[in-house]
Amino acid sequence: QSALTQPASVSGSPGQSITISCTGTSSDVGGYNYVSWYQQHPGKAPKLLIYDVTKRPSGVSNRFSASKSGNTASLTISGLQAEDEADYYCSSYTSSSTWVFGGGTKLTVL
């Protein structure tokens, strides 16, 4: 049950777009369309942004979008805003009937 691989940090200026990658294996990310993404502000609980690879829950801004290719999933945030500064985590269901999270990515809005 190794954690999915995410970049430790990314940054961007307001209005720009950034992409966070999430790399797993054929036993998790590549094997199922059960990838989700979470935003976590300091001291707060995580918030669901994306599920089933590309689906956004109601109430989540359409500035958040996601995709998957092979064993790598990606989250894109367009039109960066100051409030997007947070930690972001991916998650995937696995072939062991368990779930695994990525190590997390700290987004800095310059």
Partner 1 sequence: QVQLVESGGGVVQPGGSLRLSCAASGFTFTTYGMHWVRQAPGKGLEWVAFIRYDGSNKYYADSVKGRFTISRDNSKNTLYLQMNSLRAEDTAVYYCARSGRNYYDRSGSDSAFDIWGQGTMVTVSS
- Give the span between the Cα atoms of 100 and 110, in whole angstroms: 30
Binding mask 36-75 for partner 1 (x = CB under 8 A): x-x-x----xxxx--xxx-x-x------------------
Of 16 and 55, nearer to partner 1 (C-beta) is: 55
User: Nearest approach, Cβ of 59 to partner 1 (angstroms)?
Assistant: 11
Asked if 83 touches partner 1 (CB under 8 A), the answer is: no
- Rg of the chain over Cα atoms, rounded to whole angstroms, equals 13
- Specify the residue for token string 């599920």: 51
Distance CA 24, CA 3 (A): 8
Q: How many chain residues are in contact with partner 1, going by CB under 8 A?
A: 31
